[in-house]
Structure 1
């Protein structure tokens, strides 16, 4: 299993550096939560990992691969699954078609839906022929996660996956993320505002402010003082 390694990472939109000198490591199967107030660079960090900003500098490696030299599709084929804010499912496609889209990032050529996805998200089996645009927000989020899992990733990157989701589905999504990490061995990078869930689920955390890492540590070191100083609004 590959390790992700970032050192002195800068990322730009136009000429403006949004990330400034960010460093972190993600060991195989580790769960990292990325925390911070709105607008501090959390989403930009995830987009940087996927190659979706204008320009980057520094070092970002995944195993033996230099990610900064690779396109977004090439990064996906290395086994990095990404669920962005807004989910970005294709509303005209059925649930089945949306999930099958994820399989095209596989390198083994397999184009079938993994059965465990329906065990994890039973509603998707019930709605397999329904158009993605007809699902509720929470169901679309489950679909977006299933689509990313269909590519058989090594790392899953999630940007606030429970934001705006109805409460009865939030718990299902949180439990699924924990299971994927602890039972399936998936590395997780999670941007999250829910501090109690970050404490429960993650091995380590980092806090961003104005594009820089201002605090990092083990999840049990995420104290109320840190939350008060860097995360409350």
Structure 2
């Protein structure tokens, strides 16, 4: 069953189209990796799904519902969680306050922090009363993921979640992403530069160049030739 579908999608900053004629279909329960060199529109694609660009045209369906003209907050309440590049935790808020913020996108009024978040990222329990700005980069990424999960999303969108993070925490975050998908049934879209991880974890991939999708396929089709032609610098 399709959970997210884009059809002839264009997205603009001002009058300039950054995303051009993008079409893809994501099935429920999949991990989809969005790949490409720097500056080709990957982050803009994620922002377009969240309604964070100046304007978008074409088709964008989530669970069979047209969301193209919905506000970002409305999309979140429908079940789309987003962890942006740079994490954007609130530095003066405690870890607890940052996570509880995520619950305000829930429609059932539940403000409790799900226990499994602390099982996945034990350090967050230890640091519940520490300010978000005092955490390391890797700990802030774990906090940003926990905040998005606190809203109980159906789909999670992650923009380079392991960028600039110490290797031991990278492994924890990668394992958490696979766990969320395989064991908790959350569909995931991830912008990722780590090709081995994309090959291991993804069900399918899209490669972008100059604002367009130039290659798409199942993970087995992410060949060395595709990497050489579209992803090497």
2:34 aligns to what? Answer: 34
- Count of residue correspondences: 233
**Residue 111 in 1 paired to residue 116 in 2?**
no
Structure 2: stretches of 5+ with no match in the other structure: none
State the distance in 2 between where 1:31 and 1:78 align: 19
- Please report how far the alpha carbon of residue 196 of structure 1 lies from its aligned counterpart in structure 2 after TM superposition: 0.4
CA deviations 1:12-43 (Å, max 9, x no partner) are 00111000110111111111000000000000
Q: Does 1:208 align with 2:208?
A: yes
TM-score w.r.t. the length of structure 1 is 0.99
Query: Pairwise mapping of residues 90-101 of structure 1 onto structure 2 (< 5 A)?
Result: 90-101=90-101
- Tell me how far apart the structure 2 counterparts of residues 2 and 229 of structure 1 sit (CA, whole Å): 30
Task: Write the distance in 2 (CA, Å) between the matches of 1:92 and 1:54.
Answer: 29
1:47 aligns with 2:47: yes
**Hey, what does 2:13 align to over in structure 1?**
13
Deviations 1:64-99 (A, max 9, x none): 321112000000000000000010000000000000
RMSD over aligned Cα atoms = 0.8
- Name the structure 2 match of 1:144: 144
For residues 56-75 of structure 1, what are the structure 2 equivalents within 5 Å? 56-75=56-75
TM-score, normalized by length of structure 2?
0.99
Structure 1: gaps spanning 5 or more residues: none
- The aligned residue for residue 188 of structure 2 is 188
CA distance in 2 between partners of 1:200 and 1:39 (Å):
25
CA–CA distance in 2 between the matches of 1:67 and 1:41? 20
* 8 A contact 2:2–2:25 mirrored in 1: no
1:118-166 C-alpha deviation (Å, 9 max, x unpaired): 0000000111110000000000000000000000000000000000001
2: CA distance, partners of 1:3 / 1:64: 7
| Equivalent residue number for residue 160 of structure 1 | 160
